[in-house]
Each structure stands twice: as structure tokens, then as C-alpha cells.
Amino acid sequence: MNKIYLDHSATTPVDARVVKAMSEYMLNAFGNPSSIHGFGRIAKEGIENARDQIALLLNCYSSDIYLLVMVLKLIILQCSGMPCRIEKKGII
């Protein structure tokens, strides 16, 4: 019998391609991207590369991409006035 998981608000399965792309960062480049040490610089470079790839996919500027850890940060950004150009293109 096939099982179907329906509780995606609690957790979501990760696509194998994402696991493959992220494994290097999870195992070896796990530094704080806000830090100035080597681990942090490698992590920041990975984040910037991801931002560039997403922007290319969405046909927008990488500076338009906000990678947030929590929904609360999005709410705070929204309340403080995110750039208008994002509203024109839409938020995903």
C-alpha cells in the first residue's frame, strides 16, 4: 500500500537534488555567513550563489531575493516597508 504524507505544514520532504546541493554546506561549510572568518565567508558565498540562481530562475535581480529563516522576519520587513519593486513582481 502506498502511503501519502499530508502534514506539510509541520515538515516537508526534501527533494534529492536539494539534499545533494546542500550536503556540502551542511557537512563542511556550516559557518555563520555574518562572520568574517573563513567558515563564514564560505557560507556567505554559498548564500550569494543561491540568491543568484534564484534570481536567474525568476528573471529578477539578486538584490530582490530575500532569504529568510523565519516568517517573523518577513512580517517585520513587510511592516517596515519592503521595496516597492518587489510588490510589482510579486512575492513568492
- Domain interval for residue 38: 16-67
Phi, psi of 12 (to 5 degrees): -130, 135
Tell whether 59 is covered by a domain: yes
Round to whole Å and give the CA distance between 71 and 26: 22
Tell whether 34 is covered by a domain: yes
Mean pLDDT of 28-41: 87
Band of pLDDT at residue 34, cut at 50, 70 and 90: confident
Q: Which amino acid is at 81?
A: G
Tell whether 41 is covered by a domain: yes
pLDDT at residue number 71: 67
pLDDT at residue number 21: 85
pLDDT at residue number 28: 82
Question: How far from the centroid of its chain's Cα atoms is residue 39's Cα?
Answer: 18
Report pTM.
0.61
